[in-house]
C-alpha cells in the first residue's frame, strides 16, 4: 500500500513554497492511516538555484544507488544490528527529538542538550540506509521521529528544537545548534529521497532566519556554524534568497571571515578531530555560490594540514579526542570516520578530483570496518592501527580517561554515545556517492562497489546500471548499461591514483584508459541496452615507510595521566602494507572482538625493502564467501618476509626507536585491516627493510 500511494502521488503538480499550507491537509488525507510522510513524494526533489561555479558532481537521491553483493550483505547486517535497533537499546535514541526529558547524561530538563547530537547522527544514518535498501520499516522508524520536527517547525517553531519557545542563542546554545546542523542534514536527506514539500518548507522556515554564530571559531569545539551545510542545500532546493543572504552574511562577519583567512594562510589551532573534519569543509561550501577561490584554498589547505600531521595508515586522522599525531597506539574515534567521509564527499563533489575518491575508499574499506563487530551488533568507540589488548593499552594507567573505549559493546562506550550513533552514517554515505550526476547530463563512477543504479541522463532518458564486482577484493569491475532507449550521453570512470596499467574495454573492445587531469576517463557515445564496460585495476603491493611522532604538546593538559616522554620529539620508524585501496595487517586470531587467542604470535618486524615490496610479496586470492562479514578467512591475503624479535610495546613506546636486527626469518600472512579486530598494521622494521632511508 505504501509503494502504491508513493507512485500515485508522484504525479501531483509541484506546488510553490507559498502554497504548501493549503495542500498539507490534502497530503495528510492521502497518507491516511499510514502515519508517515516518507512514502509521499508530492514533487520531484530538484535543485532550482544555480551556483556561480557549477560543482563537478551532484549526488543522486538516497535510494537511486542500491547495494549488491558483499556491500548489500554489510548494509543488511547494519539494518539487523545497530542501525535498525538502536532506539530499542538506549533512551538517547528512543526519546531524542521528542521534546521530552531524556534519561541520559548531558540532557537538559526540557529534553535538549547532548543526546540531540547523538540521536541526530542515528536518525540521519537510519533514514538514508532505509531508502538505500528500500526498506519501508526502517524508513518509517526514522520518519516518525523526523515528522515531529517538521510538524513543530511548520506550526511556528524557530528551530528544529521545535518544543522550545526561546530561539537559539550563543554561546549558551552552541551544542544545541550543533545538533540542529546534524538534524538538518537528516531532513535534507529526507527531502532528497521523498520530494516531500512539507520537509522543504520546514527547512526553509528555519534557515531563512537561523542565527548562525558570527564569532571566530576554533577546531576544538562544536559550533552552530556547521549549519552552513544543510542551509546551503536548502537554498539549492528552494531558491529562497533569504537563506543564501543569511549564510553569506555569517561568512563575511569579521569572526568567521578571520577564521577562514587564517586557514587560507596555513594558520591552524589544535582541535578535536570530529570538529576539525566537520568544519574544514565549510569554506569550500561557499565557493560555488561566491566564486571566490580563497574559500577553496581554506578548505583544501586545512585538510592538507590535518592529513600531513595526523593521518593514520587506515585513512583517517588520529583523534583521542583531539588530533594526536601519528602512532601505532594512537586512537581514532568512529565519529571521525563518519565526519571524514562526509567532508571528503563534499570536496569531491565540488572539485571533481579523483584523490578524494581514493581517500574515501581508503577510509571506508579500512577504518570503516575495523571498529564494527562482524555481525554489526556491537562496536568500539576507538580503533588503533595496532591492537593487541582488548581494553586498555599496554602499561596504561588503570584510571586513565576512556577506560573501556577499545572494547566492543552494544552501545560502544557507556555514557558517551556519539560513535554508536555516527556509525550508522558510514555505509549509506559510501553507497550514496558510488555514482553521481555530472554537469553534462551524464553519470560518473566516483567510487566502486557492487550495486545497481537508477537515474536519468541526457534528455531525461531513464538509465539502469548494474555493477558486478567484489572490488576492492578483486581487480575487475563489470558495468552493464541499460538505457530506456538508445541515447547519447557521457559516462565517467575514475582511474584510482594508486593504479598503473588500468585497462578498459567496451563490449570486449579495448579503449584508452588514460585518465584526464582530474583522474577520469570519459566515454560519450550512443549507448544501447546491454552495453558492457569492463574495468581492470591491477593492485600491486606497496610498502609505505614513515615515522611515529610525538603527541602534540597541547595534549599535556588533556592527557595529564601520560608520562612526559610521549610529548618529546620522536621519530620511530615503521612500515605499512597496502594493495590497491586496502591496508593489510597481521591478524591476531580472536575468539570474539574482545578476546584474542592467547597463543597468537605477533612479534615480528617487516623484513622487505620498500622498493622490493611488490617483487617479494605473494598475493593470494580466493573466492568471496557466500555471505560477507569481514572474515578472518579473507578472500585476499599477502605473504611477506619478516623477522621474529623480542618486542614489548607499551603506551610510552609503541614501536622500537630504531630499525631492529631480528632473529629467525619467517614468512607472515597479512589480510585486509578491516577483517581484523586484533592486529599489527604499523610494523617495526629491520635494518634491511629500512634500507638507506635517513633519519630526519
Q: What is the DSSP string of 77-137?
A: HHHHTHHHHGGGT-HHHHHTTSSS--SSTTB-TTS-BHHHHHHHHHHHHHHHHHHHHT-HH
> Residue 131 pLDDT more than 50?
yes
pLDDT at 610: 86
CA angle 126, 127, 131 (to 5 degrees): 115
Cα 651 to Cα 365: distance, rounded to the nearest angstrom: 27
Per-residue pLDDT tens digits for 138-166 = 999 999 999 999 999 999 999 999 999 88
Domain ranges in the chain with CATH number 2.60.40: 435-469+476-536
pLDDT at 198: 97
- Provide the 3-class DSSP secondary structure of residue 461: strand
Cα 143 to Cα 123: distance, rounded to the nearest angstrom: 8
Does residue 581 contact residue 358 with C-beta atoms inside 8 Å? yes
Domain ranges in the chain with CATH number 1.50.10: 2-381+416-432
pLDDT at 402: 61
Indicate the class that CATH gives domain 2-381+416-432: mainly alpha
Cα 91 to Cα 105: distance, rounded to the nearest angstrom: 10
Whether the model pTM is above 0.85: yes
Residue 464, burial from CB neighbour count under 10 angstroms (0-12, 13-18, 19+): middle
> Residue 347 pLDDT more than 70?
yes
Cα 279 to Cα 274: distance, rounded to the nearest angstrom: 9
Q: What is the mean pLDDT of residues 417-434?
A: 97
Q: What is the mean pLDDT of residues 292-307?
A: 97
- In eight-state DSSP terms, residue 439 is T
Q: What is the mean pLDDT of residues 243-268?
A: 96
- Provide the 3-class DSSP secondary structure of residue 427: helix
Residue with the bigger pLDDT between 176 and 558: it is: 176
DSSP for 176-236, written as a single string: HHHHHHHHHHHHHHHHHHH--HHHHHHHHHHHTS-----S---TTS--GGGGHHHHHHHHH
**Torsion 256-260-262-267 (CA) sign:** positive
Decide the pairing of beta strands 332-333 and 382-383: antiparallel
Q: Which residues of 471-508 are buried (b: 16+ CB within 10 A; e: fewer)?
A: bbbbbebebebbbeeebebbbbbbbbebbeebebebee
In 547-654, alpha helices (H) = 555-558, 613-616
Residues pairing with 668 in the sheet: 640
Residues in the chain: 696
Cα 539 to Cα 580: distance, rounded to the nearest angstrom: 5
> Residue 30 pLDDT more than 60?
no
> Residue 15 pLDDT more than 80?
no
Query: Which uninterrupted H or E stretch holds 604?
Result: strand 604-606
pLDDT at 192: 97
Rounded to an integer, what is the distance from CA 13 to the centroid of its chain?
36
> Residue 22 pLDDT more than 50?
no
Q: What is the mean pLDDT of residues 293-311?
A: 97
Per-residue pLDDT tens digits for 89-116 = 999 999 999 999 999 999 999 999 999 9
Cα 520 to Cα 445: distance, rounded to the nearest angstrom: 9
Which three-class secondary structure string do you get for 337-404? HHHHHHHHHHHHHHHCCHHHHHHHHHHHHHHCCCCECCCCCCECCEECCCECCCCCCCCCCCCCCCCC
Identify the band that residue 14 occupies on the pLDDT scale cut at 50, 70 and 90: very low
Residue 568, burial from CB neighbour count under 10 angstroms (0-12, 13-18, 19+): exposed
Does residue 574 contact residue 329 with C-beta atoms inside 8 Å? no
| CA-closest candidate to residue 334, choices 304, 300, 363, 374 | 363
Identify the band that residue 28 occupies on the pLDDT scale cut at 50, 70 and 90: very low
> Residue 9 pLDDT more than 90?
no
The pLDDT mean for the chain works out to 91
Per-residue pLDDT tens digits for 203-243 = 999 999 999 999 999 888 899 999 999 999 999 999 999 99
| CA-closest candidate to residue 548, choices 385, 398, 439, 688 | 385
Per-residue pLDDT tens digits for 459-511 = 999 999 999 999 999 999 999 999 999 999 999 999 999 999 999 999 999 99
- In eight-state DSSP terms, residue 599 is T
First to last CA, the chain: 67
| CA-closest candidate to residue 35, choices 163, 143, 194 | 143
Identify the band that residue 393 occupies on the pLDDT scale cut at 50, 70 and 90: low
pLDDT at 670: 98
> Residue 27 pLDDT more than 60?
no
pLDDT at 443: 98
Q: What is the CATH number of domain 435-469+476-536?
A: 2.60.40
Q: What is the CA radius of gyration of the chain?
A: 25
Identify the band that residue 21 occupies on the pLDDT scale cut at 50, 70 and 90: very low
Cα 285 to Cα 307: distance, rounded to the nearest angstrom: 20
Residues pairing with 683 in the sheet: 575
Per-residue pLDDT tens digits for 285-299 = 999 999 999 999 999
pLDDT at 558: 75
Q: Output the nine-digit C-alpha cell for 533.
A: 564496460
pLDDT at 300: 98
pLDDT at 34: 35
DSSP for 552-564, written as a single string: PTTHHHHTTTS-G
Residue with the bigger pLDDT between 642 and 9: it is: 642
Cα 609 to Cα 618: distance, rounded to the nearest angstrom: 15
Q: Output the nine-digit C-alpha cell for 352.
A: 571533481
Cα 427 to Cα 275: distance, rounded to the nearest angstrom: 21
% pLDDT > 70, the chain? 91
Q: What is the mean pLDDT of residues 12-20?
A: 37
Cα 645 to Cα 660: distance, rounded to the nearest angstrom: 8
Does residue 401 contact residue 557 with C-beta atoms inside 8 Å? no
CA distances from 70 to 74, 127, 464 (A): 6, 21, 20
Q: Which of 2-16, 179-193, 356-370 has the lowest mean pLDDT?
A: 2-16
Cα 76 to Cα 535: distance, rounded to the nearest angstrom: 27
Residue 183 neighbours by CB under 8 Å, 6+ apart? 97, 116, 120, 123, 124, 146, 149, 160
Query: Which uninterrupted H or E stretch holds 573?
Result: strand 572-579
Cα 105 to Cα 416: distance, rounded to the nearest angstrom: 8
Amino acid at each position: 500500500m505504501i509503494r502504491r500511494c508513493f507512485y500515485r502521488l508522484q504525479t501531483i503538480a509541484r506546488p510553490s513554497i507559498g502554497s504548501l499550507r493549503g495542500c498539507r491537509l490534502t497530503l495528510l488525507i492521502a497518507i491516511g492511516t499510514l502515519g508517515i510522510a516518507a512514502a509521499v513524494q508530492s514533487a520531484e526533489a530538484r535543485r532550482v538555484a544555480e551556483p556561480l561555479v557549477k560543482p563537478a558532481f551532484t549526488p543522486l537521491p538516497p535510494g537511486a544507488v542500491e547495494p549488491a553483493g558483499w556491500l548489500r550483505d554489510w548494509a543488511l547486517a547494519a539494518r539487523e544490528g545497530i542501525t535498525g535497533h538502536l532506539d530499542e537499546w538506549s533512551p538517547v535514541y528512543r526519546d531524542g527529538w521528542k521534546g521530552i526529558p531524556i534519561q541520559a547524561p548531558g540532557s537538559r530538563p526540557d529534553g535538549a542538550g547532548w543526546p540531540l547530537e547523538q540521536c541526530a547522527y542515528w536518525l540521519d544514518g537510519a533514514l538514508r540506509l532505509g531508502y538505500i535498501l528500500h526498506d519501508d520499516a526502517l524508513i518509517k522508524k526514522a520518519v516518525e521521529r523526523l515528522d515531529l520536527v517538521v510538524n513543530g517547525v511548520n506550526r511556528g517553531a524557530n528551530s528544529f528544537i521545535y518544543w522550545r519557545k526561546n530561539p537559539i542563542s550563543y554561546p549558551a546554545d552552541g551544542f544545541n545548534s550543533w545538533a540542529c546542523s546534524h538534524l538538518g542534514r537528516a531532513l535534507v536527506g529526507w527531502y532528497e529521497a521523498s520530494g516531500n514539500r512539507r520537509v522543504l518548507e520546514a527547512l526553509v522556515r528555519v534557515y531563512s532566519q537561523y542565527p548562525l554564530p558570527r564569532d571566530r571559531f576554533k577546531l576544538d569545539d562544536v559550533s552552530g556554524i556547521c549549519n552552513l551545510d544543510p542551509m546551503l542545500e536548502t537554498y539549492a532546493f528552494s531558491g529562497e534568497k533569504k537563506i543564501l543572504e543569511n549564510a553569506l552574511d555569517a561568512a563575511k562577519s569579521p569572526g568567521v571571515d578571520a577564521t577562514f583567512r587564517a586557514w587560507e594562510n596555513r594558520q591552524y589551532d589544535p582541535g578535536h578531530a570530529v570538529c576539525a573534519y566537520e568544519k574544514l569543509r565549510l569554506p569550500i561550501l561557499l565557493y560555488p555560490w561566491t566564486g571566490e577561490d580563497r574559500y577553496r584554498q581554506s578548505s583544501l589547505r586545512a585538510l592538507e594540514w590535518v592529513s600531513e600531521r595526523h593521518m593514520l595508515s587506515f585513512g583517517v586522522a588520529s583523534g583521542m579526542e583531539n588530533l594526536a599525531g601519528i602512532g601505532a597506539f594512537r586512537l581514532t574515534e568512529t565519529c571521525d570516520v563518519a565526519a571524514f567521509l562526509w567532508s571528503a564527499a563534499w570536496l569531491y563533489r565540488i572539485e571533481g578530483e579523483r584523490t578524494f575518491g581514493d581517500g574515501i575508499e581508503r577510509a571506508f574499506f579500512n577504518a570503516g570496518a575495523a571498529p564494527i563487530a562482524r555481525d554489526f551488533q556491537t562496536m568500539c568507540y576507538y580503533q588503533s592501527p595496532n591492537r593487541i589488548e582488548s581494553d586498555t593499552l599496554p602499561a596504561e594507567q588503570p584510571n586513565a580517561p576512556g577506560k573501556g573505549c577499545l572494547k566492543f559493546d552494544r552501545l560502544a562506550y557507556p555514557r558517551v554515545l556519539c560513535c554508536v550513533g555516527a556509525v550508522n552514517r558510514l555505509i549509506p554515505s559510501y553507497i550514496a556517492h558510488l555514482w553521481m550526476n555530472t554537469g553534462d547530463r551524464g553519470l560518473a563512477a566516483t567510487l566502486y562497489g557492487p550495486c545497481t543504479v537508477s537515474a536519468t541522463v541526457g534528455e531525461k532518458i531513464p538509465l539502469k546500471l548494474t555493477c558486478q564486482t567484489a572490488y576492492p577484493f578483486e581487480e575487475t569491475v563489470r558495468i552493464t548499461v541499460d538505457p530506456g532507449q538508445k541515447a547519447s550521453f557521457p559516462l565517467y570512470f575514475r582511474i584510482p591514483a594508486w593504479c598503473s596499467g588500468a585497462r578498459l574495454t567496451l563490449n570486449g573492445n579495448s579503449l584508452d584508459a588514460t585518465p584526464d587531469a582530474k583522474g577520469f576517463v570519459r566515454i560519450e557515445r550512443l549507448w544501447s541496452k546491454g552495453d558492457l564496460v569492463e574495468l581492470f585495476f591491477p593492485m600491486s603491493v606497496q610498502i609505505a615507510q614513515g615515522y611515529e611522532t610525538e603527541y602534540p604538546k597541547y595534549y599535556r593538559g588533556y592527557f595529564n595521566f601520560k608520562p612526559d616522554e610521549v610529548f618529546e620529539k620522536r621519530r620511530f620508524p615503521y612500515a605499512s602494507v597496502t594493495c590497491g585501496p586496502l591496508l593489510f595487517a597481521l591478524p591476531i586470531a580472536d575468539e570474539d572482538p574482545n578476546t584474542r587467542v592467547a597463543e597468537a604470535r605477533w612479534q615480528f618486524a617487516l623484513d622487505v625493502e620498500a622498493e622490493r615490496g611488490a617483487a617479494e610479496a605473494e598475493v593470494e586470492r580466493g573466492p568471496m564467501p557466500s555471505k560477507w562479514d569481514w572474515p578472518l578467512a579473507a578472500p585476499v591475503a599477502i605473504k611477506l618476509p619478516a623477522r621474529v624479535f623480542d618486542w614489548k610495546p607499551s603506551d610510552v613506546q609503541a614501536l622500537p626507536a630504531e630499525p631492529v636486527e631480528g632473529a629467525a626469518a619467517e614468512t607472515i600472512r597479512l589480510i585486509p585491516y578491516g577483517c581484523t579486530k586484533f592486529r599489527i598494521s604499523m610494523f617495526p622494521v629491520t635494518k634491511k627493510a629500512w634500507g638507506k632511508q635517513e633519519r630526519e
